[in-house]
Structure 1
Amino acid sequence: MTTSTWINRGFTAPFTATGISALVPPPPWHYAGWLLNVAFSFAPECAWPLLPPALGRVVGRGCVHFADWQACTDGHELLDPVLAQYRETIVVLEIERPDGSHCMYCPAIWVDQDISLLRGLLQGWPKKIGSTYLTRSLPLAHPAAAPLRVGTRLGASLAVKERRLIDAQATLSGENGKPLGFLSLPTLGAVGWADLRRPQQMPEPLLVRPDIRDRVHSDWHAATATLQLHPHPGEDIGCLGDIEAGEASAGWVGITVAGARDADG
């Protein structure tokens, strides 16, 4: 049975003739946010459960991004901020593709907003619900503002199903930083949906990359950092084992997602 004669105006469910109830409208989606980025290293052989072998060779480097975002389509969400604001934690791993190029792959990401969760799944970013907190830097010379200067300390944490999963602390060095993780390399994800008409058959994920445009950013502020990954009974990311924090940076970025492309397109 099909619904081809039904005038549906919802880009995502719920599908209705008005489209008002749709959780996510079509792109472009515009994002601006404050990010703390912490690079890390790990034993490459530990990552095999997290990504398809066809991607290429895991090089043993990754990044955790703690992000405080504001997002919109035509801008109306900015007048109703509950639709626009959310926080998330993103984990990406660096891959050397078969052609020798490098990219990032997102095996795990947690967010606190259903709109963002569905946008992520459509892009191949496997979002789940989690609770992220990170220190905000405010443009004030005040003890509570965490101003962007030498010695300022920042913290971030992620809890999933009320269990702490990731902790980070960073101290600004006063030096220029750089973009890390998905801010520095193209990032791939896997899109796949189960078909309950064939519950015994696993989905065959398709590798895609978001079509990111109109990137803008502030200066990146370098930091030294610590990063800790805690055991969790419901998350595969723990298979990375002992991770070692590397360089870190903090700053603001804005991007627009216009859609998605095939991974090799």
Structure 2
Amino acid sequence: MSAPDALTGYTLPLSPTGRSALVPPPPWHFSGDVLMVEYLADPAAVAAFLPAGVTASTRPGHAAAIFGDWQSCTDGGAELLDPVRSQYRECYVALACQWQAQPVARCPFCWVDKDFSLVRGLIQGYPKKMGSIALTRSFELGRATPAAGEGARFAGTLAAGDRRLLEASVTLVEPAAAPELMLAPLVHTRRFPSWDPGGTAVSELVTGGSTDQRIGSVWTGTAELELFDSPTDELSMLRPVEIIAGYRFSFAETITGGRLLTETP
């Protein structure tokens, strides 16, 4: 039997080989389809979700609700041949803001439907929780699919804690440029409490890690978005006061590791 100091793994659970770890070390590669609704929320509500040092966007209240139908893998790509370890869905809100006068984005809420994505997100500082996420998919043939072109309609729904939290729909009108908020660097808070009452918690403001971003097949159009009240999730504070536009596109990136901006209280 191996000695305790032989146990290894990027995350728990540790094992003699490290193969049992829920999340392997980066780089992590992502490919997927995205449904996005860009909107304006109450600027005061957006400001309330920004940490110290992060300031309001030049367009106050600018936000987006984003659904992703993702496939991810490490360099070897073994996860792609074991799809249960590579496929997941995600729904999150992004708030436009600034760090030292540079445009960035802040994610106050995020839900995923797989445990490996949740833990991988917590490592980065994404505020991920488990949820039930559904998205309209597009296939090449048949009547049970929208063609990705003018007039096509796509929708996404999010539920968590037995409650519907968000509904979005987009009707495509025309090809478009990539939405800037999707490409803005994200500023996250990494927070891990100390288990020793006298110890020091990890609390950091971080950014970066995303490289080789690619975006294609971008269509824009009209959109609808509803955020619903919940006794535990405060997502509805960021409900839209004005819809700007809807988007559907393909997106890819690689995550390699972030950069510390500052330690936080």
- Provide the TM-score with structure 1 as the length reference: 0.90
- How many Å separate the matches in 2 of 1:242 and 1:170? 15
Counterpart of 2:124 in structure 1: which amino acid? Q
State the alpha-carbon separation in 2 of the partners of residues 204 and 239 from structure 1: 27
Show structure 1 runs of 5+ residues with no match.
Answer: none
Identity %: 35
> What's the counterpart of residue 263 of structure 1?
261
How many residues are aligned here? Answer: 257
User: Partner amino acid for 2:122?
Assistant: L
State the Cα deviation string for residues 21-72 of structure 1 (Å, max 9, x = none).
1101100001101100111111111134423132122521111111100011
SS in 2 for 1:238: helix
Pairing 1:49-64 to 2, within 5 Å after superposition: 49-57=48-56, 59-64=60-65
- Matched letter for residue 154 of structure 2: L
TM-score by length of 2: 0.90
1:231 aligns with 2:229: yes
Q: Give the SS at the match of 1:219.
A: strand
Cα deviation code 1:124-172 (max 9, x no counterpart): 11100011111112233x3222111111111111001120000011100
Q: Please give the residue correspondences for 1:205-224 in structure 2 after superposition, counting only pairs within 5 Å.
A: 205-224=203-222
Query: Is residue 89 from structure 1 mapped to residue 118 from structure 2 by the alignment?
Result: no
Structure 1 runs (4+) deviating above 4 angstroms are 201-204
**Counterpart position of 1:244:** 242
1:107 maps to 108
Contact 2:226 2:239 in 1 (8 A): no
Q: How far off its partner does 1:202 sit? A: 9.4
Read off the aligned partner of 1:68 and give its amino acid letter: D
RMSD: 2.1
Residue 148 of structure 1 aligns with an amino acid whose one-letter code is A
Kindly state the Cα deviation for residue 120 of structure 1 after the two structures are TM-superposed: 0.5
Q: Could you give the per-residue CA deviations for residues 95-141 of structure 1, whole angstroms, max 9, x where no partner exists? A: 123x321110111100000000011011111100011111112233x
The answer for the alignment partner of 1:13 in structure 2 is 12
Change (3 A) 1:158 1:144: same
Aligned 8 A contact 1:228 1:243 in 2:
no
Give the AA of the match of 2:147. Answer: P
Which one-letter code corresponds to 2:43 in the other structure? P
Maintained 8 Å contact 1:38/1:65: yes
Unmatched 5+ stretches in structure 2: none
Question: Which residue of the partner structure matches residue 197 of structure 2?
Answer: 198
Q: Which moved more, 1:113-122 or 1:245-254?
A: 245-254
Q: Secondary structure at the match of 1:205?
A: strand
